[in-house]
Structure 1
């Protein structure tokens, strides 16, 4: 297993990092790579496999965050539409009739006439009353933040996928180098016994 000093030495030697995700570097020369890390091929392979598992765990976490945001954005957009509809109906004397979900699978019908304020669920069983303009501002801010977070997550996932690919290529290169070195040693040993 690689020590934390091995992790930092690989990061310090040209690999980049993005939001806490350690970067992998492409290995041109396996012998130089192993010498710089002070590892043999088996230890390097174990280190790289561990890094690959870490990447997979981070990927699962990021994908879960992405799913949450992708579900949250349409909800915020629906709320903005409702607030806009309420604002459009305000002052017309026309009531808005809406069906809303009280509980899972249970709906109720409401008749809404000139509403000066509305209540928004903020989460954790907290609801606050806002004017229509304040609600629109808050919801728009939340929507903008969610979209920005989604963009960052997508970029993080792309960076992570690149690191997984680089690590997989490095694993293959180290493995192939090790097999090649063993063949050379085996051939040298067989030549020595023939002489």
Structure 2
């Protein structure tokens, strides 16, 4: 009843046919049907099979939506963390330029802190994940964090567009279910 989905989920563009968009990043597009009886006859389906297909497609859309919403939440949490790291690196660079020491409180254990003075900081260590931490100069760390921030924001934009496309497909499918 709907156009076939492309198997690639890495493409950020939408595939199009003369009828319009058929998929976006692996999410199949739902199609409008003017005459349901003619469509079912041409597809060789009875009403129950057509309804079952649409209900299954709607469930698939809901599963994909849950995954995309989880990715969106992760990115929305990651962006402020990256911005905070950029602010800290900028503060370290500013303190170094002024010749001042930075006083920081470190958590040693839950509820136990120690105060330290950080003087003349030339580098920082960035946690890259997967139990990997690397030391970078402040300038390198700043550049890497800015790149990561740009990538995260771009990914979030694509994700929001995917969610809107998905919601449109759910609406079309729900309308088709009510027509059958």
User: Does TM, normalized by the shorter one, top 0.5?
Assistant: yes
Higher relative contact order (CA 8 A, sep 6+): 1
- SS of the residue 1:114 aligns to: coil
Aligned partners of 1:76 and 1:162: how far apart in 2? Answer: 32
The ranges of structure 1 where at least 4 consecutive aligned residues each deviate by more than 2 angstroms after the TM superposition are 6-9, 11-15, 99-110
Larger mean CA deviation between 136-145 and 92-101 belongs to 92-101
Higher percent of residues as helix: 1
Superposition deviation, residue 36 in structure 1: 2.8
Q: Which has the larger radius of gyration?
A: 1
Superposition deviation, residue 98 in structure 1: 1.8
State the Cα RMSD in Å: 2.3
Q: Which runs of 5+ in 2 are unaligned?
A: 6-15
Partner residue, 2:35? 29
* Paired positions, count: 169
User: Is 1:85 matched up with 2:81?
Assistant: no
Partner residue, 2:124? 118
Aligned partners of 1:50 and 1:105: how far apart in 2? Answer: 51
TM-score of the two chains, using structure 2 as the length reference: 0.86
| 1:143 aligns with one of 129, 145, 149 | 149
Compared with structure 1, are the counterparts of its residues 31 and 107 closer, same or farther at alpha carbon in structure 2 (3 Å cutoff)? farther
User: Is 1:18 matched up with 2:24?
Assistant: yes
Q: Which runs of 5+ in 1 are unaligned?
A: 175-195
Aligned partners of 1:170 and 1:120: how far apart in 2? Answer: 51
The answer as to whether partners of 2:54 and 2:173 remain within 8 angstroms in 1 is yes
Higher percent of residues as strand: 2
Report Cα offsets for 1:118-174 as digits up to 9, x if no partner.
110000111101001100000000000000000000000000000000000000011
